[in-house]
Structure 1
């Protein structure tokens, strides 16, 4: 027997993952979303994401909470990597390089969380690019996961539909509108819905939300590890293989409050140059000329807007109300509406998705 009807707003990685977990908990689920897997619009951040795992130090309570969600998600991705290759999730080595790491990275106390991930090991100087004589002075390796984000999103939607969930494409102006859209489609009373999950990315008019433009490059060069590098001046570069013949994603930029929708040629050149220096083993000869000069082979640049939020992920329950249609054309009635907010994950959506989805189910079930 169903525990009740729930609407999920948004079909990004958090919305889809939450829908799967709600269906597994025996809720009747309808997704209402502007963008769906297969769409490639700049506001739909999930398909553009460089989805991979890299550990981060824990320095405060908010980071500790997020770390718990990330650990739950890590365990789920390990299961998927071994049980369902069609999900595109794969386990690969992860590598971190720093020119000048902060103490939170090098002071490897277990409570900081950074050094407790599977197969974590600090690299010896002769394992670093330039063997420690170049700009890179510190590195570590660990077991990581990667996935092909467009493939994975389609896989998630398939899991929703196989479990009986429905998907409605609609651009919403406000959260309560989702109830009326779902009600009309399902021919059900608005009173039937027990909760709405707001996994809309940036929320609805939340002043704490803001975009962060990210430019990455998709290259055809294969790679057998995911690599992260932070320079002394704070620039960061990543290499993320995309399984199932998805190429390799490299980049990228973090441009807060930038609304530029087009790729920058200057950024493209800088990413290619820095990644080639950081990880020269990535360079290969052209596929049509085995004796040609090794290089990075650009397929195309990508630009997406990460849904950032001051204070980080909003993961909480709110009791609101909606105005129901007037009875007999006269007096309006209202209905209490439970809203579970789960948005503003920024660049961490994939990393904490399964942990956040479990918490969404708990909040939906609370009185």
Structure 2
């Protein structure tokens, strides 16, 4: 049943997940994006994401919402990992080390309730890391970002989604671009536009956070995160289906530089080698400069951050193209949590669209 057409701006993980969910509920979907799966750009963050699960405490209303979205996503990814291995999702043991135990309250927000959670013994800490004050483990998921995004696109196309590659300067342009792409007299006007554009449009609360990461061939069968006292972190994230291992990284808010830092690369390789010496190749010659790592790629990406966190709301916007009010649903600014909350956000978007449609139908019945 045709529930109406929805235009989605952006083909990152939030936009694509929302597209699939809306299609499953009977909506027609057109995705308009500057980049599509298979493209690579410093500002197309989703293909670069390490994409792994780690819990977070929930003290504020925004954090509690995010945790609820995380739980919905966790459950959906469990199904995908079991039923669709080609999607590139896998569940593995996850380990976190904290140099300051006060940074994590285990009782806040149900942190201890995630599957497989336990506190590590000091004997399980990496040798030589006397700074670690707390270690925990639980069952977490990892996914191969480029493979998973392509799978989402294929799911959307299978259900009839249309993809248009275009760069928009304002959400207002979405309807005009959609109309121009359709055969004359065939286009059905949208009932809503979803803004899943990463940093939004002219949102002064949004900003980029530069991250430098490395993909290596060296294997690891678990995720490892080390949270240092100075606020920096070291992560090790295996990518399923032969994607290698993502290691890193840096967090540099408001930094627009595209230049790779050799110093950062050196520091990341050293930190990861110390954190997980079992990954280091000590037998192959010629790896001295890379500390025993087979480096496949060093890359820079910009996370779509937003002061105040994710923007997830519906507003009524005046659409010049339609000369009428059109619902605009914002879902952007997820920062590093995009994959963790993606299916929860998709469910929320579907709910917001369904409310619009109910109102529309009731008006027509009157």
TM-score w.r.t. length of structure 1: 0.92
Residue number in structure 1 paired with 2:223: 226
Give the stretch that moved more between structures: 277-286 or 298-307: 277-286
| Greater alpha carbon shift after TM alignment, 117-126 vs 181-190 | 181-190
Structure 1: gaps (5+ residues): 325-332
> How far 1:298 moved relative to its partner?
1.5
SS at match of 2:299: strand
Q: CA deviation at 1:296?
A: 2.0
What is the aligned counterpart of 1:359 among 348, 352, 355?
A: 348
Instruction: Judge conservation of contact 2:5–2:188 (CA < 8 Å) in 1.
Output: no
Query: What is the root-mean-square deviation in Å for CA atoms of aligned residues?
Result: 1.8
Distance 1:142 1:364, change over 3 A: same
Compute the displacement of 1:112 (Å): 2.4
Structure 2, unpaired ranges of 5+: 357-366
Work out whether 1:65 is the aligned partner of 2:85: no
> Contact conserved, 1:238 with 1:250, CA < 8 A, in 2?
yes
1:108 deviates by: 2.6
Whether 1:348 aligns to 2:337 is yes
Q: Which residue of 2 aligns with 1:328?
A: none
1:281 to 278, 281, 300: 278
1:2 maps to which residue? 2
Q: CA deviation at 1:130?
A: 2.6
- In the alignment, which residue of structure 1 is the partner of 2:111? 114
Q: Corresponding residue for 1:204? A: 201
Once the two structures are superposed, the pairs formed by residues 27-176 of structure 1 within 5 Å of their partners are: 27-102=27-102, 105=104, 107-109=105-107, 111-130=108-127, 134-176=130-172
- The CA deviation at 1:288 is 7.7
Deviations 1:107-165 (A, max 9, x none): 432x522111000000011111138x722221000000000101111111000100110
**Displacement after TM superposition at 1:191 (Å):** 6.6
How far residue 287 of structure 1 moved from its aligned partner, in angstroms, is 6.0
Residue 324 of structure 2 aligns to a residue whose secondary structure is: strand
For residue 195 of structure 1, what is the aligned residue in structure 2? 192
Distance 1:174 1:190, change over 3 A: farther
Whole-angstrom distance in 2 between the partners of 1:200 and 1:220? 32
Q: How many residues align?
A: 353
Deviations for 1:49-85, whole angstroms, at most 9, x for unmatched residues?
A: 0100011111222111100000100001111110001
Pair 1:26–1:69, CA change in 2 (3 A): same
Name the SS of the counterpart of 1:320 in structure 2: strand
Question: How far has the Cα of 1:271 moved from its partner?
Answer: 0.5
Measure the CA separation in 2 of the matches of 1:25 and 1:288: 56
Counterparts of 1:182 and 1:334, CA distance in 2? 15
Alignment CA distance shift 1:294-1:264 (3 Å): closer
| 3-state SS of 1:260 partner | coil
Counterpart residue number, 2:174: 178
Match of 1:175, SS? coil
* Aligned match of 1:334: 323
Give the SS at the match of 2:236: strand
Deviations 1:31-60 (A, max 9, x none): 000001111110100011010001111122
Structure 2 distance, partners of 1:232, 1:6, is 46
Q: TM-score, length-normalised on structure 2?
A: 0.93
Question: Is the CA contact (8 Å cut-off) linking 2:273 and 2:291 kept in structure 1?
Answer: no
The answer to whether the Cα contact below 8 Å between 2:99 and 2:131 also exists between their aligned partners in 1 is: yes
Instruction: Specify which of 251, 255, 263 is matched with residue 258 of structure 1.
Output: 255
Local SS of the residue matching 2:298: strand
Q: Map residues 12-23 of structure 1 onto 2, 5 A cutoff.
A: 12-23=12-23
Deviations along 1:165-187, one digit per CA (max 9) or x if unpaired, are 01000011111211011112123
Question: Contact 2:206–2:304 (CA<8 Å) still a contact in 1?
Answer: yes
Contact 1:238 1:252 in 2 (8 A): yes
Distance 2:142 2:329 in 1: 28
Q: 1:250 to 1:336 in 2, by over 3 A?
A: same
- Cα distance in 2 for partners of 1:334, 1:185 equals 19
Q: Give CA deviations for 1:243-288 in whole Å, capped at 9, x if unaligned.
A: 1110000001000000101211010001111111111122124568
